Amino acid sequence: MSGRSSWQAPGRGQLAAVAGAFTLAQLLLVGPSIGLGWDEVVYVSQVGGDAPAAFFSAPRARGVPLLVWPVASWSSSTPLLRVYLAVLSGLGLYLALRAWRGLFPPRVLAGAAALFATLWVTLFYGPQAMPNLWVAFGALVCVACFLRARVDRFDRRALWGVLAGAALMAWMRPTDAVWVALPLLVLAVAVRHWRLAGVLAAGLVAGGLQWVVEAFVSYGGLRERLNQASRIQGDLGWNFAVDDQLRSLVGNALCRPCDGEMPTPVVYAWWFMLPLLAVCGLAVAVLAGRTTRTLVTLACAATAAFPYLFMIGYAAPRFLLPAYALLSIPVADALLHLATRPNGRWRPVPAAVIALGLAGHLAVQYVVLDRTVDRTTAGREAWSRSAAALHRLGVRPPCLLTGHEAIPVGYYTGCDSGAVSGHNANTTKADILRTARRIPVGALSDPGATPPRYARDWELHRLDGLEVRVAPAPGAGGPQ
């Protein structure tokens, strides 16, 4: 199969329709007005001008700031940013699965797009300034183009696709990119396809170079940055986090510590169906003569998921988006094989059973999404109300907030944020007291929590779910 014919196979309409529906569903079900979350604040503040740039901790990469720069650099409108990201993610879904044309039938790819796009976690993070969905798109492009280039060594477009997909993953999350690419690198070396291995490595380097340079400039070297990242993520090592991921499927954006009750099985039944259907998809691939491409896809999905299932002590549903994206292809292959005859016609009974199961699955995904959006919107509206209350108290830019939730509340208030301990430590007590002599400073805490020693004599005020102690106004007998 030539590179040209494989990239111009028929059936674009189905995939384009799913991608368009994905964008529309984001705007209708998640909505463009939901405020920025904690991690989004960190990323957007790097390029936006509404508030000082928040502390950029060691695990983070600059891919998301680059992604949002075309809008955030000149507009503070969150709805505009949401619409931009929703449209962009719909385009990303289309292009990522478009790369698989010729490797799998068009109906399989449209089905894979639909399965992936209707997961609540995919819809929820589609319009958000977060990296994991874009790692998933990069993984799809990289694996598809790798499979093309492995078969046709003269397919230059496939090689460029490998480079672009690997670079996109590494721009967003360098460590995730390495885990996804590991099976591809092993296979390229095993078959002595040095050119393909070199292109893949070049893509990882191109995307991750800035992260490595920044490690030496700002974090004391690459090893130290990796060590800091490991500490922030709970000291990476053997940690069985499968049960944590199950608990997070109820809609917990971050399950840390993840010690709540297990949700009802109806919430996570689909999660256990994925590996079973993936194995069925492998059997279908053997019968259809596409064993290698399915095996490689499954291997990359497994390595993408491995660190988040067995190496960290907490969970977030978005961590597994790259694995879900890759698994969606063999799963769609299996479902279509079970539901259709070799001539393409539907098998009435299996098709009806599968349709009923998918309908129930979609209903569960919608309920979880709806509750997650409501809970998230309420939390971010509380930050906005706290910011308005701080403005009324005289805490206006330039200003500084410290303590609990200082990063998101600081962004909404237009203040800088600081911490003297923890994962986001970037200042000292002495610096905070010096700052309080010049500009308004507030120390945030949970209601009833013990305030920092330096703020115990500051004036206490109640916010929406928070307390703030505001330093005496500069020039009015502030702390010495």
pLDDT by residue, tens only, the chain of 480 residues: 333 333 334 456 999 999 999 999 999 999 999 999 999 999 999 998 888 999 999 999 999 999 999 999 999 999 999 999 999 999 999 999 999 999 999 999 999 999 999 999 999 999 999 999 999 999 999 999 999 999 988 889 999 999 999 999 999 999 999 999 999 999 999 999 999 999 999 999 999 999 999 999 999 999 999 999 999 887 888 999 999 999 999 999 888 888 888 999 999 999 999 999 999 999 999 999 999 999 999 999 999 999 999 999 899 999 999 999 999 999 999 999 999 988 888 999 999 999 999 999 999 999 999 999 999 999 999 999 999 999 999 999 999 999 989 999 999 999 999 999 888 999 999 999 999 999 999 999 999 999 999 999 999 999 999 999 999 988 654 444
Per-residue model confidence as pLDDT tens digits over 200-221: 999 999 999 999 999 999 999 9
Give the dihedral sign, CA 30/34/39/40.
positive
Cβ(108)–Cβ(124) under 8 Å?
no
DSSP labels, 51-114: SPPPP--TT--THHHHHHHHHHTT---HHHHHHHHHHHHHHHHHHHHHTTBTTB-HHHHHHHHH
Cβ(322)–Cβ(122) under 8 Å?
no
Q: Which two tokens stand for residue 394?
A: 């005289």
Helix (H) / strand (E) element for 467: namely strand 467-470
- The secondary structure of residue 319, as a DSSP letter, is G
* CA 380 to each of CA 34, 41, 68, 82, 133: distance values in angstroms, whole numbers, following the listed order: 8, 11, 19, 15, 21
Q: Give the other-Cβ count within 10 Å of 290's Cβ.
A: 19
Distance in angstroms (rounded) separating the CA atoms of residues 203 and 184: 13
Within a 13 Å sphere around the CA of 49, how many CA atoms are in the beta-carbon half? 5
Phi first, then psi: what are they for 253, rounded to 5°? -65, -35
Peptide bond before residue 398 is cis, with ω within 30 degrees of 0: yes
Cβ(473)–Cβ(440) under 8 Å?
yes
Closest CA to 444 of 392, 397, 387: 387
Taking the model in full, what pTM does it have?
0.95
Phi first, then psi: what are they for 74, rounded to 5°? -130, -10
Query: Interhelix angle for 321-339 vs 291-310, to 10°?
Result: 140
Distance in angstroms (rounded) separating the CA atoms of residues 425 and 437: 21
Within a 13 Å sphere around the CA of 396, how many CA atoms are in the beta-carbon half? 5
Distance in angstroms (rounded) separating the CA atoms of residues 129 and 140: 20
